[in-house]
Structure 1
């Protein structure tokens, strides 16, 4: 395919939310902007006008504000000063007949449908319980929960009180959960006795006991009987019964809503604090104008409460959509289980990972999703082959909305937009309100060249702070130490001449041969479409003697050996489809690739292991999906040092 892989039809353009917003602007004495490119340019040139217009267009439920953008300094921008609001009010303005939350476990267990009225009643009941336990504005309530409806109810009940929410999934071990949630000195823990995954029940009662022992600030623990196991002594059974009035606490725009945690692969997990107002306005923009979510939609992103995409999916309620909670394995009982579930639930907007797309292709899955309109993908770079597979298997009418953003802003920097075409391997455009640029080594904005992803103007959902960082020293060091006053995210990107965005991988794991910077994603896109290769990882390690070693690690399909012939084919493919400089020095078969628990390859920790660092100094094993794989690379490093 040489042209776009998806082109919006005129009915799609005419009926989408972003087009209605563009027309609304013109009708309300705003600028006359002929297309998305002009709309985006205006949104970053005039941020106060743009975000102020969204406040009015979406009729954000809040008290009046003094200024939209009182200070544009980063960090520390001041948005909608004087306004008070609550995230929960924006959710329950959509109460009506119909389903708000679908809780769907793995096959064999009945799912649940929770109406908008029932959701509000349950949130009010749980908020009443928390209030009786002494939870109030600024207190912390934490969840150690699977992706179930009770997690949504618990979050909304917490936020409505002006308290601060944080959560992680029950696939995290107790020490990993304590390393995150324990930092917050929470007053209440909300958890579940376990969950079902891959056809098995996962009993988490022992882990819960350890959390209670290791977090001394806890005054109460509430347990959801997900598996119906015997209760834990001294805990409170989950109850969302009773009729209580839902009353919310109005808080300032920048009052903390939740704390999300970084992956923890380079040290102690950082608690990233986001505010009520910034999240509300950013998420209604992203979900309505970019994903084109409407109240009639069913929105399902396969995710976990450990990952920002859980928060992003819950935000579907902000625009009145139905959301889906699922705590199972997307490949159980068959590789296409996630597709089957989405079809059964009449999902219209589905989100998954590039890894699942690749796994589906290699497993020969043929999905049939008659109601699907948009397929989201994030967590890592979407390889070009996945675009072609989606177009072939799901149909060219399905928009593959690859997005790039992060926990840091709990949103996206670049992605799809319903009025713009989608090109293979590219994101359609920077998102509205995101002053996205690619900067070269001299800090100059470049087009059609690889550069650092920077954001030159503030976004409302940028962090308020890091938890327990009173002077913002860690916060400034994380994003503003390279370019003062400009957000540096840590990704290599190319902004093309047609305005699309290509992500090449993390800039802190840059491949740099003879001064030429390359992205690892460009290599993965080539290697992982070979049928013999399940997954790969490439690093570039500076050596003590001044040399540079760039090995490629491959996980091979069952029954496949890394023969000289296969190595030659891998090198030839990279040379042909990437470039000669992308060809690795060595190709090494390994039993697996270690990832963060949200699926990102551990390029930097593996690089440091191969440079001779101790595993304990480069990565928290609790943050790794299979920490035993680190030993493979540590042993390889040891063998190389003995040569």
Structure 2
């Protein structure tokens, strides 16, 4: 197996397995109900994007969407931005998520660094969602209000989300490892009325008290009328630490009937955040219907999920994979929540979790698999993974060596599905195809209903060549809008200002003639650390607030085969030195006010930050330079105000890149 090269087949599904997949059952249904037949996956994909309305209508019917009113038309307006999906339909995401019930199977398995075992039955989940929804209504929360959570990946967060969605209120969450300023920058924009929060969290064997942050959130989020506190690290004296709070248990005191607010298809479900490189984080609004249909398609057809599965994604509430994990409930599957470090007390933790829960699908980030490989991990034979059918990887490109490691060291007969998508659509663009073989270093195919192409700078479609990842036709889960973006300018500028009417995502992709894909990392300057995206401005605000720092530049060198390397460049005040004390201070400030995820791997002292003639930091050109692009192709010195600053970065690029891959 070690002699296999990139692009060669490393695993094939058996004919029996192919016959049992959700994709095969779906195509059999299309043949029986619609008279449609396809020779292979590529033909099915082409139909799904060429006949968008017919395809998405089939997902509605095949997946038995629960709605109080069916749609009048599937796609009334096909333009991007501005597509109008399933007008006239009325439904509720939470109702679809709680429609199924298995008396013999839990809805949630929960584990953490301190909790060895907790199970939530479907009955208990529904009862608690009903009680919390009832309590929220009594607190005055109504449809369209924003409810936010500063919460980890625990059952209470799932319950609070489903309760919020059930009454038509709008959900938004940040993980408690986010610093106060990062949370305030996000939540303040959407004017929430209720804040759910924990008193702290556990990570890597330590407890982190966040009551001071919660207090700061209460003060700065002036629209918040009620704070609901979930005791997590300290069960006592919490209300003495934090004033004007309601304890979580008070929301569960009254039992209630589970009911659902029937809302239009495009009624906001939640707000996620995807930062650009300047300004405040962008609040992305996604709707009940679009997310429901996209998650049904993604989980049933591309993750091969059924109600018999036990599914896991290692994620925090600050990553869209937490939101996608909720799609497991929509299918009646058991979802596994884990809160804590994947390496505490050692890197065996998640593999032990897979055995303990009888996990059938294990979702994680590419960096986790790469780290496991580099540490010489060998779960095969050590853990009982007989029930584990699939391993999903996302958040970053997965290297060829990591593909080989999975089959050598995890399980020989397993479907390894590498995928790539975005917070922006809360789903994948390219990913797993259960009826196809797995090829080393490649993503199996483009997702159904997603018209993915690779474009050159002139907007020409490329095959077998690296280009910009673009979406040329609308998806139901695309943002409805950005919150408070009254005229749509921020939305348009984020995706549509390069190719008119075409979504430019900001990734490099190569699509070959058989439909397989390779993602080569970000093509813009947004930072992506294990799937969590952060705008550079979030880091600049913190670093440049340090007295000794004059200016800074941050570059993420994430690219296929090299992992993610976050580099920070600083210009200091005259006479100041980049000594160990200042380095430690910079890292601590980022840890405290942004997130530990975005602590730089290396900090460099420079004399000047490269800038354009109008004074903008040259993030994208410098990033390309440090990734190994040819200097003359990415940097135009004539367009700079300080071309002398380039020499340092040119020399550093030569050191960092032994060979060029572009």
TM-score range, shorter chain: 0.7 to 0.9
The correspondence for 2:306, drawn from 294, 316, 321, is: 294
Equivalent residue, structure 2, for 1:15? 20
Q: Is the 8 A contact 1:609 1:618 kept in 2?
A: no
Task: Sort the Cα spacing of 1:610 and 1:403 in 2 relative to 1 into closer, same or farther, 3 A.
Answer: farther
The correspondence for 1:309, drawn from 304, 318, 321, is: 321
TM-score by length of 1: 0.82
Equivalent residue, structure 1, for 2:243? 233
**For 2:79 and 2:13, how far apart are their aligned partners in 1?**
37
Equivalent residue, structure 1, for 2:504? 488
Task: Sort the Cα spacing of 1:201 and 1:75 in 2 relative to 1 into closer, same or farther, 3 A.
Answer: same
**For 1:319 and 1:276, how far apart are their aligned partners in 2?**
16
Equivalent residue, structure 2, for 1:343? 355
The equivalences for 1:335-374 within 5 A come to: 335-367=347-379, 368=383, 369-374=385-390
Equivalent residue, structure 2, for 1:210? 216
The equivalences for 1:185-200 within 5 A come to: 185-200=191-206
Deviations 1:39-71 (A, max 9, x none): 111000000000001111111011111001111
Task: Sort the Cα spacing of 1:59 and 1:173 in 2 relative to 1 into closer, same or farther, 3 A.
Answer: same
**For 1:607 and 1:282, how far apart are their aligned partners in 2?**
46
The equivalences for 1:6-85 within 5 A come to: 6-62=11-67, 63-85=69-91
Once the two structures are overlaid, the 10-residue window that deviates more, 253-262 or 319-328, is 319-328
Once the two structures are overlaid, the 10-residue window that deviates more, 31-40 or 279-288, is 31-40
**For 2:645 and 2:257, how far apart are their aligned partners in 1?**
61
Equivalent residue, structure 2, for 1:434? 450
What is the CA distance between 1:252 and its match in structure 2? Answer: 0.4
Equivalent residue, structure 1, for 2:110? 103
Deviations 1:249-270 (A, max 9, x none): 0000000000001146543110
Unaligned runs of 5+ in 1: 511-518, 529-534, 541-590, 621-635
Task: Sort the Cα spacing of 1:393 and 1:266 in 2 relative to 1 into closer, same or farther, 3 A.
Answer: farther
The correspondence for 1:142, drawn from 140, 148, 156, is: 148
3-state SS of paired residue (2:102):
coil
Q: Is 1:161 paired with 2:167?
A: yes
Q: Is the 8 A contact 1:267 1:618 kept in 2?
A: no
Equivalent residue, structure 1, for 2:396? 380
Q: Is the 8 A contact 1:379 1:600 kept in 2?
A: no
Task: Sort the Cα spacing of 1:608 and 1:139 in 2 relative to 1 into closer, same or farther, 3 A.
Answer: farther
**For 1:61 and 1:379, how far apart are their aligned partners in 2?**
31
Deviations 1:522-564 (A, max 9, x none): 6x51x56xxxxxx646999xxxxxxxxxxxxxxxxxxxxxxxx
Equivalent residue, structure 2, for 1:544? none
Q: Is the 8 A contact 1:166 1:260 kept in 2?
A: yes
Q: CA RMSD in A?
A: 3.1
Equivalent residue, structure 1, for 2:576? none
3-state SS of paired residue (1:426):
coil
Deviations 1:445-499 (A, max 9, x none): 1110111111111000000001110110010111111111111111111101121
**For 2:618 and 2:195, how far apart are their aligned partners in 1?**
27
The correspondence for 1:394, drawn from 402, 406, 410, is: 410
The equivalences for 1:105-144 within 5 A come to: 105-106=112-113, 108-144=114-150
Q: Is 1:184 paired with 2:196?
A: no
Task: Sort the Cα spacing of 1:452 and 1:112 in 2 relative to 1 into closer, same or farther, 3 A.
Answer: same
**For 2:416 and 2:80, how far apart are their aligned partners in 1?**
33
Task: Sort the Cα spacing of 1:10 and 1:321 in 2 relative to 1 into closer, same or farther, 3 A.
Answer: same
The equivalences for 1:315-326 within 5 A come to: 315-326=327-338
Task: Sort the Cα spacing of 1:609 and 1:161 in 2 relative to 1 into closer, same or farther, 3 A.
Answer: farther
What is the CA distance between 1:126 and its match in structure 2? Answer: 0.3
The correspondence for 1:334, drawn from 335, 342, 346, is: 346
Task: Sort the Cα spacing of 1:392 and 1:110 in 2 relative to 1 into closer, same or farther, 3 A.
Answer: closer
Q: Is the 8 A contact 1:267 1:619 kept in 2?
A: no
3-state SS of paired residue (1:109):
coil
TM-score by length of 2: 0.79
Q: Is the 8 A contact 2:611 2:618 kept in 1?
A: no
**For 1:327 and 1:613, how far apart are their aligned partners in 2?**
42
**For 2:400 and 2:311, how far apart are their aligned partners in 1?**
25
Deviations 1:125-182 (A, max 9, x none): 0001100010011000000001100000000000000000000000011121111111
Q: Is the 8 A contact 2:133 2:167 kept in 1?
A: yes
**For 1:109 and 1:379, how far apart are their aligned partners in 2?**
27
Equivalent residue, structure 2, for 1:272? 284
**For 1:415 and 1:610, how far apart are their aligned partners in 2?**
41
What is the CA distance between 1:275 and its match in structure 2? Answer: 0.3
Task: Sort the Cα spacing of 1:175 and 1:509 in 2 relative to 1 into closer, same or farther, 3 A.
Answer: closer
What is the CA distance between 1:229 and its match in structure 2? Answer: 4.0
Unaligned runs of 5+ in 2: 527-555, 570-586, 620-643, 652-662
Equivalent residue, structure 1, for 2:513? 497
Deviations 1:190-228 (A, max 9, x none): 111122211122211111101001100010000111121
**For 2:596 and 2:393, how far apart are their aligned partners in 1?**
13
